[in-house]
C-alpha cells in the first residue's frame, strides 16, 4: 500500500521505503543535494546524509530533516523552502566553502563541480565565514588518479563507490572533526594500496578531491616533436560518449568527427583500438576452445580490463591461472604498432609514440606496468581519457559539431562490429562467441546476436548452444559483483566455461574517464544502445572476418596462439596479496 503525504501543500503517493527526496522528485520539486548519489540500474543509493544540504521542515518535528535519508510517512507534511530550511542550507554551504580551496578556475572539475554549481544556484557570492583551512599534500603517486584532500567535503560518495559498489575497500573516513577526510588508512598514497584505479570514485566525487592524472601536455609535446611519429588509438566506448562534451545528446555515435578532430590535432596516424579488439578475440577464443577441449583451467576469465585484473591479483591471487593470458586490446595495439606497423612504415620503434584515448583511468596504470615494455620501450607511451581528449579539442579551437566525418587509417584502423561492442558489459564475451561458433561449427553462421549476455544487469548468465556444444557463460560488471561470482566458483556453487568481467558497472561505457554522468543512468543506457547500433551498421561483424587481421596473421604472426603470438600478445599475472 502506498504512502500518502504532502510536500509544499501538494499531495503525493509513493511506495513504502521511499524518501522525502524521492517523493519531491515525483512532484518535480527540486531539493538541493550534494552527498546523495543514486544509480538506479546498479541499485546504488548513497544516503549518508553527511552534508545536510537537503534539509527540509517536517510539520510536528523540532529538527530539520535530511530529505535524502528520511523515509516518507503517512500523513507527513513537508515544506522544502521555509526560511528556516533556506537559512540552514546557506549556513551549511557557507561552512563547506570556508574550508574549501578557492582555485576554481584551475580545478580539474571546474564547471563539473557540484559544490560550485550549488553555490551558484543558491546565490552565494561572498564568504560569510573566514578562518583556518585544512591542508594536505596532493597524492600523485599513481599513474591514474590524483587525490587532493584539501577539497574533500566528506560527502563519502567515493567511499560508497570503492567499498559498496566495487568492494575494493581502500577508502574510508579518516580523522575526526575539522581534520576528517575520506582516504586510505593512515593517509597512504593510492599507489601503496590495493586500489585498482577503476576511477569510479572519480565519477562519484562531486568536487575536485579526486580526478585523473593529466597527460594532455605530454601529448602536446609529442605532437610538436619533429623527431617523433605520433599515432593514436581510440577505444570503442569513447565514440559513444565524447559527443556529450560538445552538447550532443547521449547515445550519439561520433566516430567520424572524432577521427577528423584527431587529425586536426596533429596525429600522424589515427587508428582504432577496435582493430586490436578483433585481434584479442583471435587469441582469446583460441585459448577458450583449447581449454574446453582439454577441460583444464575453466572457466576462462576475460583479461581486457586492467582494473579487474589488478583486483584479481590482490583479492583472488589463488585464481590467477583462470584469466586468459591475452593482453588487453590497448596493449596488443601498442605491441603490434611498435613491431608490425613500425616495420611496414620503416620507423624505428623508439621514434614511435603511441597515444591511447581510453574511457578508463586504469588504462593509464596498465600502460606503465613493467611487463608491457621491451628493451625499455613501452608498448603504449601515453594514455588520456575521453575527458582529456575533449579538453584538447576545445583548447585547439576545433568546432567539434561542425566537423566532417573522417575515416581511420589503415591497416590498424579496420575493425568489425564485434570489436565495437567491447565497450559494453557482455560485449567481449559476445564477440568471442561469434568467432567460437564459426570455428566450432566450421562454417559462417548467420545467427550471431547472443542477446542473453547483453544489458546493464550486474550479473548475467546464459547457456549457449554451438553446433551441439552447450557453453555455460556468465557476464559480470562491477567488482562487487565479480567478488560474488568468484566466491561462488571457489565454493563450487557455479559451473561455467567462460566469464566476462569488467571493473566498471556497465562496462567501459561507464569508465572513470568518461564524461561525468552524475548518476544519471539513462545516459549509460543510451551509450549502450549506441554501441549495438554501431555494431549492427558494420559490414563485417565477426572478428576473424576482419581482412586486416587476416593479413596480420598471414604476414607476421603466423596463426592464432602461435609461439610468436604468445611472445607478443600474451602476458602473465602477479600475486599482489600482502
CA distance 114 to 87: 19
The DSSP call for residue 80 is: S
Cis peptide before 299 (omega within 30 of 0): yes
CA 527 – CA 536 distance, rounded (Å): 15
- Cell numbers at 23, concatenated: 517523493
Catalytic center residues? 284, 287, 304, 324, 363, 366, 371, 508
Task: Transcribe 268-317 into DSSP letters.
Answer: SEEEEHHHHHHHHHHHHHHHHHHHHHHT-SPSEE----HHHHHHHHHH-G
Cα distance between residue 69 and residue 432, in whole Å: 44
CA distances for 398 relative to 215, 216, 247, 351, 391, angstroms: 19, 16, 14, 28, 10
Give the other-Cβ count within 10 Å of 68's Cβ.
Answer: 27
Cis upstream peptide for 128 (omega within 30°): no
Provide the CB-side half-sphere exposure for 202 (13 A, CA).
30
Residue closest to 422 by CA, chosen among 328, 313, 332, 286: 328
Q: For the chain, what is the total number of helices (H) and then of strands (E)?
A: 19, 21
- Residue 497, classed as helix, strand or coil, is coil
> Do residues 531 and 424 touch, judged by C-beta distance below 8 A?
yes
Euclidean distance between CA atoms 359 and 99, whole angstroms: 32
Query: Grid coordinates representing 285?
Result: 577464443
290: phi then psi, degrees, rounded to nearest 5: -60, -40
Question: Which residues have C-beta within 8 Å of that of residue 188, sequence separation ≥ 6?
Answer: none
Whether the Cβ atoms of residue 193 and residue 170 lie closer than 8 Å to each other: yes
Q: Are 504 and 511 in contact (CB under 8 A)?
A: yes
Beta-carbon contacts of residue 102 (< 8 Å; ≥ 6 apart): none
Give 25's Cβ-side CA count (13 Å radius).
Answer: 13
Cell 584469466, located at residue: 323
Give the Cα separation of 57 and 75 in Å (integer): 14
**What is the C-alpha separation between 458 and 274, in angstroms, rounded?**
24
User: What is the crossing angle of helices 273-294 and 427-441, to 10°?
Assistant: 60
Q: What are phi and psi of 204, to 5 degrees?
A: -80, -30
Amino acid at each position: 500500500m502506498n504512502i500518502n503525504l504532502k510536500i509544499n501543500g501538494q499531495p503525493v503517493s509513493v511506495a513504502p521505503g521511499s524518501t522525502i527526496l524521492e517523493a519531491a522528485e515525483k512532484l518535480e520539486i527540486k531539493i538541493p543535494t550534494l552527498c546523495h548519489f543514486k544509480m538506479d540500474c546498479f541499485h546504488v543509493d548513497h544516503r549518508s546524509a553527511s552534508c545536510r544540504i537537503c534539509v527540509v521542515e517536517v510539520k510536528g518535528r523540532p529538527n530539520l530533516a535530511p530529505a535524502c535519508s528520511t523515509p516518507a510517512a503517512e500523513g507527513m507534511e513537508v515544506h522544502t523552502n521555509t526560511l528556516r530550511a533556506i537559512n540552514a542550507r546557506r549556513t551549511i554551504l557557507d561552512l563547506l566553502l570556508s574550508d574549501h580551496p578557492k582555485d576554481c578556475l584551475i580545478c580539474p572539475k571546474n564547471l563539473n563541480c557540484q559544490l560550485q554549481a550549488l553555490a551558484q544556484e543558491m546565490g552565494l557570492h561572498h564568504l560569510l565565514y573566514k578562518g583556518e583551512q585544512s591542508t594536505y599534500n596532493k597524492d600523485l603517486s599513481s599513474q591514474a588518479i590524483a587525490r587532493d584532500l584539501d577539497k574533500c567535503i566528506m560527502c563519502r560518495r567515493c567511499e560508497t563507490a570503492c567499498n559498496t559498489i566495487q568492494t575494493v575497500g581502500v577508502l574510508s573516513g579518516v580523522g575526526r572533526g575539522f581534520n576528517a577526510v575520506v582516504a586510505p588508512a593512515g593517509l597512504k598514497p593510492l599507489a601503496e594500496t590495493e586500489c585498482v584505479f577503476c576511477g569510479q570514485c572519480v565519477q562519484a566525487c562531486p568536487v575536485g578531491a579526486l580526478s585523473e592524472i593529466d597527460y594532455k601536455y605530454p601529448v602536446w609535446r609529442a605532437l610538436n616533436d619533429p623527431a617523433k611519429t605520433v599515432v593514436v588509438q581510440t577505444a570503442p566506448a569513447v565514440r559513444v560518449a565524447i559527443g556529450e562534451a560538445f552538447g550532443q545528446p547521449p547515445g550519439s555515435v561520433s566516430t567520424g568527427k572524432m577521427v577528423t578532430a584527431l587529425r586536426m590535432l596533429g596525429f600522424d596516424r589515427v587508428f582504432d583500438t577496435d582493430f586490436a579488439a578483433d585481434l584479442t578475440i583471435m587469441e582469446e577464443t583460441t585459448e577458450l576452445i583449447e581449454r574446453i577441449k582439454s577441460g583444464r583451467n575453466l572457466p576462462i576469465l576475460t583479461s581486457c580490463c586492467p582494473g579487474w585484473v589488478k583486483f584479481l591479483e590482490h583479492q583472488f591471487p589463488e585464481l590467477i591461472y583462470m584469466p586468459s593470458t591475452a593482453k588487453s586490446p590497448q596493449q596488443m595495439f601498442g605491441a603490434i604498432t611498435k613491431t608490425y606497423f613500425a616495420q611496414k612504415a620503416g620507423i624505428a620503434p623508439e621514434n614511435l609514440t603511441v597515444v591511447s584515448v581510453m574511457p578508463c583511468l586504469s588504462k593509464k596504470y596498465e600502460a606503465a606496468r613493467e611487463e608491457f615494455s621491451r628493451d625499455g620501450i613501452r608498448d603504449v607511451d601515453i594514455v588520456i581519457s575521453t575527458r582529456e581528449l575533449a579538453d584538447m579539442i576545445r583548447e585547439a579551437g576545433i568546432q567539434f559539431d561542425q566537423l566532417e566525418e573522417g575515416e581511420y587509417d589503415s591497416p590498424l584502423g579496420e575493425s568489425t562490429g564485434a570489436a565495437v561492442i567491447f565497450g559494453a558489459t557482455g560485449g567481449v564475451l559476445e564477440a568471442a562467441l561469434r568467432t567460437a561458433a564459426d570455428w566450432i561449427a566450421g562454417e559462417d553462421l548467420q545467427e550471431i546476436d547472443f542477446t542473453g549476455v547483453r544489458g546493464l544487469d550486474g550479473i548475467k548468465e546464459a547457456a549457449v548452444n554451438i553446433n551441439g556444444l552447450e557453453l555455460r557463460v556468465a557476464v559480470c560488471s562491477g567488482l562487487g559483483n565479480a567478488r560474488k561470482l568468484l566466491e561462488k566458483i571457489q565454493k563450487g556453487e557455479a559451473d561455467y566455461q567462460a566469464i566476462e568481467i569488467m571493473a566498471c558497472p556497465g562496462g567501459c561505457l561507464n569508465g572513470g574517464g568518461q564524461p561525468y554522468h552524475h548518476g544519471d543512468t539513462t545516459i549509460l543506457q543510451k551509450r549502450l544502445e549506441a554501441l549495438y547500433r554501431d555494431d549492427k551498421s558494420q559490414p563485417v561483424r565477426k572478428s576473424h572476418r576482419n581482412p586486416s587481421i587476416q593479413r596480420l596473421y598471414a604476414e607476421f604472426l603466423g596463426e592464432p596462439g602461435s609461439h610468436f603470438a604468445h611472445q607478443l600478445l600474451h602476458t602473465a599475472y602477479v600475486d599482489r596479496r600482502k
